[in-house]
Amino acid sequence: MISSCILLFYIPALAQTPDTTARDARSVEAERLYADRANLSSARRAAALWADELARNPQAFDAAWKLARADYWLGGHAEAQEQRKDFEGGIDAAKKAIALQPNRPEGHFWMAANMGSLAESFGLRQGIKYRKPIREALETVLKIDPAFQQGSADRALGRWYFKVPGMFGGSDKQAETHLRTSLTYNPNSTVSHFFLAEVLLDNGRKAEGRSELQKVLDVPLDPNWTPEDQEYKAKAKALLAKQ
């Protein structure tokens, strides 16, 4: 007779079905491909794997929010005719993640990110349509976990308050406050420093703005966000040269 103690070690092995093994392998491959997202074809293959997993298993929360994240990257780097499809796909995937896990921040954040990029890319009508849902989604992230992804909700809210006209709720003061708060979670954030520089420069605070741009150039690359860091360093260098 096999003892109950030994059975405890047998159960996990019995639970590892071929389908589970294949799913785990696809997940690992998708993450590997997404890490190489600077190569757009790799990002598309990663998105396809997460979309396939979500089609196979509509309860796959991780696949849903990771697909939304991949679509956000793709939409920001695709040809113009592909952008809307990518961002709208990201919004749809994020909504599925929210439905599955409403008390997790990932779905809310990546829905807001895709909406924000769609609004910035396709003009006033999209901006008006998504203005309120973006802010509400980001405020939800702050309620759930303000430290999520190195203060990303505060960073995005800072961008929201900067980009939205004052008559619709925008505020450079609020933008600066949120961006400085985001930097308390990650003082080396290239994105937060760059967005803050734009706010400062727009308000005539040229010396402070230049200082923030220099910080973008000086901070080390984050291994998890290297493609994004490299892009913002290039933007900071170009903008600094104009000041």
pLDDT of residue 124: 59
CB 164 within 8 A of CB 170: yes
* CATH for the stretch 152-243: 1.25.40
CATH architecture of 37-145: Alpha Horseshoe (1.25)
User: What are the residue ranges spanned by the domains of the chain?
Assistant: 37-145, 152-243
Q: What is the pLDDT along the chain (243 residues), one digit of tens a residue?
A: 333 333 333 334 444 555 667 778 888 999 999 999 999 999 999 999 999 999 999 999 999 999 999 999 999 999 888 899 999 999 999 999 999 999 999 999 999 999 999 988 877 566 678 999 999 999 999 999 999 999 999 999 999 999 999 999 999 999 999 999 999 999 999 999 999 999 999 999 999 999 999 999 999 999 999 999 999 999 999 999 999
Fold match flag (37-145 vs 152-243): yes
pLDDT for position 5: 35
Alpha helices per DSSP H over the chain: 4-15, 18-35, 40-56, 61-77, 80-100, 105-121, 123-144, 148-163, 172-185, 190-202, 206-218, 226-242
What pLDDT sits at residue 170? 95
pLDDT at 17: 56
* Cα first-last separation, the chain: 80
In this predicted structure, what is the pLDDT of residue 125? 66
